[in-house]
Amino acid sequence: MNKSRNNSLELFKSMLRIRMVEESIAEKYSEGKMRCPTHLSIGQEAIATGVCSALEKKDLVLSTHRAHAHYLAKGGSLKSMIAEIYGKVTGCSLGMGGSMHLIDKRAGFMGSTAIVGNTIPVAVGLALSIKLKRRKNISCVFFGDGAVEEGVFYEAVNFAVVKKLPILFVCENNLYSVYSGLEVRQPENRKIYKMVRALGIDTHKGDGNDVEEVFSLTKLIREKIVNNAGPQFIELDTYRWREHCGPNYDNDLGYRTEEEFMSWKKRDPIETQRKRIKSNEYFNLAESFAHEIEEAHKFADKSKYPSYKQFRSIQS
The pLDDT confidence band at residue 19, using thresholds 50, 70 and 90, is very high
Q: Does the pLDDT of residue 3 top 90, yes or no?
A: no
User: 67-78, pLDDT tens digit by residue?
Assistant: 999 999 999 999
Q: Supply the mean pLDDT for the chain.
A: 95
pLDDT for res 247: 97
Provide the percentage of residues in the chain whose pLDDT is more than 90: 92
Per-residue model confidence as pLDDT tens digits over 243-299: 999 999 999 999 999 999 999 999 999 999 999 998 777 888 999 999 999 999 999
What is the tens place of the pLDDT at every residue in 190-230? 999 999 999 999 999 999 999 999 999 999 999 999 999 99
Q: What percent of the chain has pLDDT above 70?
A: 97
| Cβ–Cβ < 8 Å for 293, 78 | yes
Which residue, 165, 122, 161, is CA-closest to 142? 122
Burial (CB < 10 A; 0-12, 13-18, 19+), residue 92, is: buried
Asked whether the predicted pLDDT for residue 127 surpasses 70, the reply is yes
**Per-residue confidence (pLDDT) for residue 130, from 0 to 100:** 98
**CATH number corresponding to 3-315:** 3.40.50.970
Q: Is the pLDDT of residue 1 over 60?
A: no
pLDDT given at position 316: 58
The lowest-confidence range among 142-151, 177-186, 306-315 is 306-315
Please tell me the distance from the alpha carbon of residue 204 to that of residue 218, in angstroms, as a whole number: 10
Distance CA 19, CA 188 (A): 33
DSSP output for 153-219:
HHHHHHHHHHHT--EEEEEEE-SEETTEEGGGTS-TT--HHHHHHTTT-EEEEEETT-HHHHHHHHH
CB 214 within 8 A of CB 236: yes
Instruction: Answer yes or no: is pLDDT of 4 > 70.
Output: no
